[in-house]
Structure 1
Amino acid sequence: MSDLPTHVTIREVALRDGLQIETPIPLSAKLELLAAIAATGVREVEATAFVSPSKVPALADAPELAAALHDYPDIEFSALVASPNGVHRAVAAGFRSVEYVVSAADGHSRANVGRSSAEASAQIADIVAIARDAGVRVEVIISTAWDCPFDGPTPPQRVLDVVDAACTHGADRIAIADTIGTATPGRVTELVNLVRPHIGARPLGAHFHDTRGAGLASAWAAVSAGVSRLDSSVGGLGGCPFAPGASGNIATEDLVYLLRDSGIGVDLDLAATIEAARVARTVVGHDLPSALLRAGDRLR
């Protein structure tokens, strides 16, 4: 276990991962949520995805949303892509950072993008080349890093194979993702310790779901093992449409509360983050799983 970091970067993913399984909401509602998220002080936001509108209709308005992002020059916005064409579209829309997701498990990879894990990994070279020519940063996220809803437990070597491909082809950042919320602290520590020697000086991020109630504990284990970047979603909004049983990202406000009270710096104001969760609840029209949304901060 490493010494705890003094600061953890939180990337807000409600606008992409949070909304992707929801019934599509109007662009005006997304802009309302974006304004609330920006008011938290967050420095990084995953704004949308350039993927097939027929597969993810909730994100079909990606170019229109991108046009509004210039109103927030202090935030680094990124977009998820699933193919070289997606990178071209993201670059054309003005994004300077993209995430390319590769599932470490074949079952989820085929359900998600119609390719095996190896076939998806083979596209990393093209993704990076297109992005680099445009001066755009690439993060490779390895999904189903612990378990797959179709294939069961993911052998760690499959994760390392994707990590090595990403690093060989020049990805700027690496992240590992618990797509279906099955990770537990001990398993998180083990995988982080295996991945870190493979990535050199690249930042390592992690993405957890709270499907089985261990999301925050897993995030804490990741931070304790040296992870300096975490994804989260206001209200705990979100899930994977291609992973049966996946639900709720860890809630941003719950994560901010945990890190703040543990002496770890974050860029987000907790009261503003809880307010953003309220806005998220309003725009999607149903309750969200966030604990802080129900109970509030201990500091009044």
Structure 2
Amino acid sequence: MTHAMNPRPRIHLTEVAPRDGLQAEACFVPSADKIALIDMLSRSGLAKIEVTSFVSPQAIPALADADAVLGTIHRAPEIIYTVLVPNLRGAERALPLRPDEFNLVMSVSESHNRANLRRSCEESFSALREVVALARTAGIAINVSLSTAFGCPYEGEVAQARVLDWAWQFFDLGVDSIALCDTTGMAYPAQVSTICAAWARRWPLETLTLHFHNTRGMGLANVLAGAVAGVRRFDASLGGLGGCPYAPGATGNVCTEDVAHMLELQGYDCGIDIDILLTASERLQKLVGHEVPGQILKAGRRLERRPAAIVNR
């Protein structure tokens, strides 16, 4: 008697390097190079790509070409192309270019929200109501990224109840999904397991994305803890590039190729062509003019063979 093998759990990765990775870079990557990089990423098997941010060009000059980039990339029908919109003005600017999704951002920490957005949490929530209404009318999906969900560099521990309360309020507003963001790499695996279990008691885990940074070396461990808890959606950044420019110590995001490599070894199906990611990561290094933090790019995959070194004695 034969038994059908259980399919490997499918993981959906969102690539954030074109926005979250490049926003903190001192250099301006030319639009044509951004477009070519995104088009390459579109061939790698990613579920979603965060293309750019429709923030004021004065605030983040590195993404001043948002209109040109979103309007020129070649969109694969199976990929969700999302853009960060900080406010109604940004949403109205992005709308004619028809992104698949708006990514809205608010911190659950009052101190960080004021440092990042110059508003209280309540003021941000009120302003985002207008963006949600616009997106609903236009038929654009809405994700909300809740920053400092695992800890705040100004306030320390952030209560899980506060994180879940803000999630309730945004779901009541009509958003489709929420990302819990570890803005400065303060999360640890047991904490991740706990909040994922609490989430699953309230909402389907399909509504949750986890966004980790590797600031304290726990990024991949946190991803694995989330996957074991049943989460299937994760943000990651090519080469491990990125970090919030308004949060002290916020070094790079977890690296996309490292995440895919680890999860595949652990029995998950990411649907990713890692060779394409590694080629894209090499290109990204040249574009930003410095080495990126990703490990697989440096060391190779687990069983990658290399010529034996000849030692002269």
TM-score, length-normalised on structure 2? 0.91
User: Which of 44, 60, 66 does residue 56 from structure 1 map onto?
Assistant: 60
- Counterpart position of 1:41: 45
- Counterpart position of 1:15: 18
Matches within 5 A, 1:142-291: 142-200=146-204, 203-291=207-295
In structure 2, what is the Cα distance between the partners aligned to 1:119 and 1:202? 28
User: Which of 89, 94, 99 does residue 95 from structure 1 map onto?
Assistant: 99
In structure 2, what is the Cα distance between the partners aligned to 1:16 and 1:247? 15
Deviation at 1:171, TM superposition (A): 0.5
Matches within 5 A, 1:117-128: 117-128=121-132
Residue deviations 1:262-291 (CA, integer Å, cap 9, x gap): 110112111211111111111101011111
In structure 2, what is the Cα distance between the partners aligned to 1:254 and 1:70? 26
Deviation at 1:54, TM superposition (A): 1.4
Between 1:93-102 and 1:31-40, the stretch displaced more is 31-40
- Number of aligned positions between the proteins: 298
Matches within 5 A, 1:130-149: 130-149=134-153
TM-score, length-normalised on structure 1? 0.94
Deviation at 1:41, TM superposition (A): 2.2
Between 1:157-166 and 1:65-74, the stretch displaced more is 65-74
Is 1:86 paired with 2:90? yes
1:139 touches 1:174 (CA, 8 Å); kept in 2? yes
1:105 touches 1:151 (CA, 8 Å); kept in 2? yes
In structure 1, what is the Cα distance between the partners aligned to 2:162 and 2:19? 26
Distance change in 2, residues 1:201/1:177 (3 Å): closer
In structure 1, what is the Cα distance between the partners aligned to 2:204 and 2:39? 36
Distance change in 2, residues 1:74/1:139 (3 Å): same
Between 1:105-114 and 1:27-36, the stretch displaced more is 27-36
1:167 touches 1:199 (CA, 8 Å); kept in 2? no
2:206 touches 2:232 (CA, 8 Å); kept in 1? no
In structure 2, what is the Cα distance between the partners aligned to 1:172 and 1:5? 26
Distance change in 2, residues 1:274/1:107 (3 Å): same
In structure 1, what is the Cα distance between the partners aligned to 2:100 and 2:274? 28
User: Which of 41, 65, 72 does residue 69 from structure 2 map onto?
Assistant: 65
SS in 2 for 1:153: coil
Distance change in 2, residues 1:299/1:202 (3 Å): closer
Deviation at 1:126, TM superposition (A): 1.9
1:239 touches 1:246 (CA, 8 Å); kept in 2? yes
Between 1:123-132 and 1:137-146, the stretch displaced more is 123-132
Residue deviations 1:172-200 (CA, integer Å, cap 9, x gap): 11110100011110111112222333334
Structure of greater Rg: 2
